Amino acid sequence: MIMYDATWSISETTLCITDVENNEESERQINIFPNPNDGRFTLVRENYFSTVCRIYNIFGEVVLEEKVAGNSKSFDVDLPSGIYFLSLENGIDLKPVSIKFIILKP
């Protein structure tokens, strides 16, 4: 599973990734399973900070935003098949940590 750490700039609902690299520290911070999924998945993370979770489509538009507390959260989202990015602010320095996931509808 490849996870990404990036430098972000957000304008209105547009996500612009300016610097992406595979970051082993990010891999330890968040995980989504199953991936790919049908819109039902679980987010697991190492820290317990209350934080904002955003899901972006491939156009950089925010398609879901909600607060997350604890180290895991189950999602059941009604989104079309495609590639998405889940982004979390880490609660300390607000540097986002993100992971790519795929929704495949039957």
Q: How far apart are the first and last CA of the chain?
A: 22
Determine the pLDDT at residue 77.
Answer: 96
Q: Residue ranges of the chain with pLDDT lower than 70?
A: 1-28, 48, 90-94
Asked if residue 80 has a cis previous peptide bond (ω within 30° of 0), the answer is no
Determine the pLDDT at residue 51.
Answer: 84
* Two structure tokens written together for 13: 């609902």
Determine the pLDDT at residue 1.
Answer: 42
Determine the pLDDT at residue 62.
Answer: 97
